Amino acid sequence: MIPYGRQNITQADIDAVTEVLQSDFLTQGPAVPAFEQRLCELTTAKYAVAVNSATSALHLACLALGVGPGSRVWTSPISFVASANCARYCGADVDFVDIEPESGNMSVAKLRQKLEAARDNNCLPQVVIPVHLAGSSCDMKQIHDLGQQFGFSIIEDASHAVGASYQNEPVGTCRYSDITVFSFHPVKIITTAEGGMALTNNLQFAEKMRLLRSHGITRDADLMTEPSHGAWYYQQLLLGFNYRMTDMQAALGLSQSHRLQSIVQKRQLLAEKYHHLLAELPLQLPPLDKINKSAWHLFIIRLNDKTTRHAVFAGMREAGIGVNVHYIPIHTQPYYQQLGFDWGDLPVAEDFYERIISLPMFPELTNEQQKFIADTLARLLA
């Protein structure tokens, strides 16, 4: 089976992890700060906080922004459940903003409408979490403008978008957001096996997330409530978690990060090739934006005739092509239905869901495999 996504591991990656295994520190050594530093260089963000998953990063980002019981957090329904769950961990109420059908990203027009209605009903959100679906940035400038106007904070869920650009700057600058989150799960652009990173230009947010990722414990005497008892002493200031990234993971991520550009370039070439191969088929292709460059985590096609989706999907799998669907609208998950959401709430997202198929997209995908994928798709749609 050709998978829909796959990690890219080189001998250099293996050597980097091996070196950590032979060193003094498997965790809490020098590799984590080195990887954080590297992500700051790649994105120009001032601070980076490495954690054990993007889910943890989203949770800490919500907490750093003061999300708690009674808070309102809005996100996109076309995302992985973690984009919404992070707010639920904090006891907040979640709501969803419908998408634009071309990119699958949160619609700025729908967001504005929903904000205007919320202002009239006195229920504006504290935080909005746009998701850069498939690696293509949301219109962050406009979302940021709305944030200024309506007074909400912004977390970019850029789990798909490390290495992407927006208005000629890397995703992760946090120019138009408070915090940006990356995922390093193996199917994502670069990997640490499990892992995530929160980037910010705000020192208070960074310090809060650092404290919370390790039990809320500090060894910094300046933060303590009484004089240190000695060199062993630490204080727990907050109820935090064990969300730390290990040095083995950070070494892998650091090694991978040196290939970020070439990995994204390769994905871009694969996307262009798909555009060429699939141009004549009865389906819509994801936009090839030359200015806001996608990282091409996913290649999501939309079938013109949604009644064929089931058969096309099954036929592709039968042919050994590991297609997938990204995503089942979050609000239709039983957990969210129990909270009062239902089918029909977000019609554009639901229509999108019924048409989409994610084609295989990973750096080692060959020309022959792509041709085979395109030919199979053409056959099934004929």
Burial per residue of 159-185, b for 16 or more beta-carbon CB atoms within 10 angstroms, e otherwise: bbbbbbbbeeebbbbbebbbbbbbbbb
Longest dimension (CA), the chain: 76
> Residue 208's closest CA among 183, 239, 182, 235?
239
Binding of ligand PLP at residue 82 (CB under 6 A)?
A: yes
**Dist CA 137 CA 277 (whole Å):** 25
Sheet with 299-303: strands ordered across? 283-284, 299-303, 356-359
> Dihedrals φ, ψ of 276, to 5°?
-65, -45
Q: How far is the CB of 73 from ligand PLP (least distance, A)?
A: 14
**Dist CA 315 CA 376 (whole Å):** 8
Binding of ligand PLP at residue 80 (CB under 6 A)?
A: yes
Q: How far is the CB of 196 from ligand PLP (least distance, A)?
A: 5
**Dist CA 114 CA 213 (whole Å):** 33
Nearer to ligand PLP (CB atom), residue 8 or residue 308: 8
- What is the number of other CB atoms lying within 10 angstroms of the CB of residue 289? 14
The active-site residue out of 46, 110, 141, 188 is 188
Binding mask 306-345 for ligand PLP (x = CB under 6 A): ----------------------------------------
Q: How far is the CB of 323 from ligand PLP (least distance, A)?
A: 17
Q: Could you confirm whether 266 is annotated as catalytic?
A: no
Among 196, 253, 286, 360, binds ligand PLP (CB under 6 A): 196
Among 97, 115, 131, 365, binds ligand PLP (CB under 6 A): 131
Among 159, 165, 200, 370, binds ligand PLP (CB under 6 A): 159
Residues in 54-73 at the binding interface with ligand PLP, rule: CB under 6 A = 54-55
Give the catalytic positions in this structure.
188
Interface residue list for ligand PLP (CB under 6 A):
53-55, 79-80, 82-83, 131, 157, 159-160, 183, 185, 196
